[in-house]
Amino acid sequence: QWGQLHTLLTHCARHVPFYGRSWQEAGIRPDRIRDPDDFRRLPILGRRTYQEQSADFRAAALPLRARPQLQGV
């Protein structure tokens, strides 16, 4: 499970502007999240922050596994 979490956190840091920016400002790097104590250091996201910055929560790219598979095209 930590491997999957690491993959998700890395993707968010690279492709979701809000997380890339806020984690960098907080000195957080996904490759250093290795256990529950590290995970607890991630900032809590409040509703107001999401509402005010919703555009920055859109990923610029989807992970390969999350992309829909087109068949017969």
pLDDT digits (tens, 9 = 90+) for 16-55: 999 999 999 999 999 999 889 988 988 889 999 999 999 9
Provide the token pair at 53: 């910055």
13 in Cβ contact with 30 (< 8 Å): yes
Q: What is the pLDDT of residue 60?
A: 87
Q: What is the pLDDT of residue 43?
A: 87
Instruction: Count CA atoms closer than 13 A to 50's CA, side-chain side.
Output: 6
Provide the token pair at 43: 């900032």
Q: What is the pLDDT of residue 61?
A: 85
Q: What is the pLDDT of residue 68?
A: 54
Confidence check: pLDDT of 3 > 90: no
Provide the token pair at 20: 């890339």
Of 14, 10, 63, 12, nearest to 32 by C-alpha is 10
